[in-house]
Structure formats: C-alpha cells, structure tokens
Amino acid sequence: MMEENQKSPISRSPEIAQKLRFSYNFYTKSYPDINNLDEVGATVHFVNTGIYEKRFCSSYHFFKEKKPEYAGSISIEKIS
C-alpha cells in the first residue's frame, strides 16, 4: 500500500507534464496512435508510456532535440 505522502503516477501526471511543458495538441497530433485520447488520457499516457518511448511532448522538446539552435527562440505562449 502506498504511503500518504506518495502519489500514484496518475495523480502526479499533471505535475510532471507541466514541468516538461506538455502540449496536448502537439502530442496528440504528432502521434496517430493516441490522437483519440482526451487531455487527461494523453497526459497520463505521456507520463506512464510516452516518456519511456522517448516521444516528444511539445514543440519545444522536438526542436531542442532535433534543432537545438532554434529551441531558445520557440515561444510556448498562444499568439492572439
């Protein structure tokens, strides 16, 4: 049984995803096998599976890995 101060991976999913700049739209549009998941399901999938499969969770991480010279110039803010 889990101690009270320990959280299950599912309950920690939003916290982990936020730290990693998880983008629901980027993640579900980048991987057709999970494009039917809602935001909670996609977040849980990323934290429990996608990280270990080395899937990108945002355009920031994609560019950081593939084109590091551009990663610093990518904004994750919405453009109005």
pLDDT tens digits, one per residue of 44-60: 999 999 989 989 888 76
Of the chain, the percentage scoring pLDDT greater than 90 comes to: 38
Residue 4 lies in a domain: no
- Dist CA 22 CA 58 (whole Å): 6
Model confidence, pTM? 0.64
Residue 26 lies in a domain: yes
Is residue 41 scored above 70 in pLDDT? yes
Q: How many domains does the chain have?
A: 1
Q: At 78, is the pLDDT very low, low, confident or very high (cuts 50, 70, 90)?
A: very low
> 54: domain range?
9-71
On whether the CB atoms of residues 74 and 59 are closer than 8 A, the answer is yes
Q: Which residue has the higher pLDDT, 2 or 67?
A: 67
Name which of 10, 34, 12 is nearest 24 in CA terms.
34
Q: Which residue has the higher pLDDT, 17 or 38?
A: 38
